[in-house]
């Protein structure tokens, strides 16, 4: 099986995941879920004409007689109003508190232009406007928009539950590693990184480099996705191939034409759960996570993985064959490589603000380049 192109790997990843269960949740429980349908405004926002200022609703020319009644406002009259208040019928404009002065029973001030500080009904949304499109992740601002337009509950799909397996007999969890040992960076780094990309971490397990142990660990756990780190190679110490063979997994790709990270592979277990196998080199694990996890999440939630943003290169980004992912930083002239970014190194990534997606042949200064936003 030869390496698949980067874009094709993202399509295959999205297609490998069946949509998750459709549920209805109250707004307070919907954060991070994905809207299953287009959501429409249930009423106009604002619901009526409202005042944008504390002050007085006025009608006709001033000075105005300050009126404390409830009925329509007659010309030559003013009535106190607060921000968001519904002005009485007949209001021509709102005079803010700081623009008027009351002496006796009269309000003095410059006549406001008609409609001043009056918000029209439905200015933000008319009933039936699509306010959140199907497939959108429900962020705090989207939940607020749903609340203002009258929603109490929404039909959603939850973020996928993930079982993370970290392989590597050489790994140690604390202290300065001795020769032959490697400090485990995946266990502290991947769960928050994956969470930022829209998954829920159900379990994190360190497993030995033994195909049967890895297969057993992957079978346990009621989750939507399995993600493993390490062991994708072909040596006897690499357990992923053996675990997939033992579980009769359907391999969708074995390797992607990307650097770093070309050994990344994807299979689907007989019970339908996809398993993304990240390579063990730490920067390769992050670059493959950034490349493919959003596509898996989109498959589960019915969303669409965001396209890379576009930045301008302010330096040469050397491209190897296929797609090269390069940690980069912003400068006033554009993005430049972050440095110290070999596949086994994380210092460049730690300082990076974006990851540049460099096509075959590289990018010259002044050219646009796709970038992925920081979640690391
Ligand atoms: N003969 C070949 N050897 C290698 C190839 C190849 O094509 N042919 N590809 C290289 C590339 S590229 C990568 S990436 C790695 C992929 O290796 P594995 O997925 O099998 O990962 P490991 O062998 O388990 O680990 C590789 C490297 O990363 C360190 N590692 C692993 N897990 C962790 C962790 N949790 N924290 C910190 N460091 C970790 C591990 O100790 C190894 O040094 O294969 C290359 N070799
Ligand atoms: O995927 Mo590997 O990083 O190119 O070390």
CB under 6 Å to ligand 2: residues?
259-263, 279, 281, 284, 343
CA dist., res. 323 & res. 290, Å (int)? 13
Q: With contact defined as beta carbons under 8 Å apart, do 99 and 130 qualify?
A: no
For a ligand 1 pocket test, name from 230, 231, 323, 346 the mutation site with the most ligand atoms within 8 angstroms of its C-beta. Answer: 230
Q: With contact defined as beta carbons under 8 Å apart, do 234 and 277 qualify?
A: no
Write down the pLDDT at residue 118: 97
Could you give the domains of the chain? 6-20+159-301 (3.40.980.10), 24-43+129-157 (3.90.105.10), 50-119 (2.170.190.11), 309-373 (2.40.340)
Angle between helices 6-15 and 282-301 (to 10 degrees): 40
Nearest Cα residue to atom 1 of ligand 2: 261
Helix (H) or strand (E) holding 215: helix 211-219
Beta bridge partners of 372: 355
Write down the pLDDT at residue 115: 97
- Is any atom of ligand 1 closer than 6 Å to the C-beta of 166? yes
- The owner of tokens 């969708």 is 252
SS3 219: helix
ipTM over 0.95: yes
CA dist., res. 161 & res. 154, Å (int)? 20
The one-digit pLDDT tens for each residue of the chain (376 residues) are 689 999 999 999 999 999 999 999 999 999 999 999 999 999 999 999 999 999 999 999 989 999 999 999 999 999 999 999 999 999 999 999 999 999 999 999 999 999 999 999 999 999 999 999 999 999 999 999 999 999 999 999 999 999 999 999 999 999 999 999 999 999 999 999 999 999 999 999 999 999 999 999 999 879 999 999 999 998 888 999 999 999 999 999 999 999 999 999 999 999 999 999 999 999 999 999 999 999 999 999 999 888 999 999 999 999 888 999 999 999 999 999 998 788 888 999 999 999 999 999 999 999 999 999 999 9
Write down the pLDDT at residue 39: 97
Radius of gyration of the chain (CA): 29
Q: With contact defined as beta carbons under 8 Å apart, do 88 and 72 qualify?
A: yes
């Amino acid at each position: 099986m030869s390496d698949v192109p980067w874009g094709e790997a993202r399509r295959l990843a999205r297609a490998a995941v069946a949509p998750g269960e459709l549920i209805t949740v109250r707004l307070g429980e919907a954060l991070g879920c994905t809207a299953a349908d287009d959501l429409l405004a249930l009423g106009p926002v604002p619901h009526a004409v409202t005042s944008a200022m504390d002050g007085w609703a006025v009608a006709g020319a001033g000075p105005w007689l300050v009126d404390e009644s409830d009925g329509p406002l007659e010309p030559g009259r003013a009535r106190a109003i607060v921000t968001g208040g519904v002005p009485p019928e007949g209001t021509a404009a709102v005079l803010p508190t700081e623009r008027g002065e009351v002496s006796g029973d009269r309000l003095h001030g410059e006549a406001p232009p008609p409609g001043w500080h009056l918000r029209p009904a439905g200015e933000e949304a008319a009933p039936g406007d699509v306010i959140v499109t199907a497939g959108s992740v429900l962020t705090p601002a989207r939940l607020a928009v749903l609340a203002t337009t009258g929603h109490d509950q929404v039909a959603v799909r939850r973020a996928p539950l993930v079982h993370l397996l970290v392989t590597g007999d050489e790994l140690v969890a604390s202290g300065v590693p001795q020769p032959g040992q490697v400090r485990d960076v995946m266990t502290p780094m991947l769960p928050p990184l994956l969470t930022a990309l829209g998954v829920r971490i159900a379990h994190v397990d360190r497993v030995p480099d033994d195909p049967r142990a890895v297969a057993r660990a992957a079978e346990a756990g009621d989750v939507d996705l399995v993600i493993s780190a390490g062991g994708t190679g072909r040596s006897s110490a690499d357990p992923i191939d053996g675990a997939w063979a033992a579980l009769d997994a359907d391999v969708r790709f074995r390797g992607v034409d990307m650097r770093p990270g070309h050994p990344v592979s994807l299979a689907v277990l007989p019970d339908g759960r996809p398993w993304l196998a990240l390579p063990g080199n730490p920067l390769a694990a992050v670059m493959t996570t950034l490349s493919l996890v959003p596509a898996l999440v989109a498959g589960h939630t019915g969303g669409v993985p965001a396209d890379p943003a576009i930045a301008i290169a302010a330096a040469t980004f050397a491209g190897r064959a296929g797609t090269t992912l390069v940690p980069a930083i912003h400068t006033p002239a554009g993005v430049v490589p972050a440095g110290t970014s070999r596949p086994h190194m994380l210092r460049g990534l730690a300082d990076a603000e974006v990851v540049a997606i460099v096509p075959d042949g590289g990018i010259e200064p002044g050219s646009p380049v796709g970038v992925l936003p920081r979640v690391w």
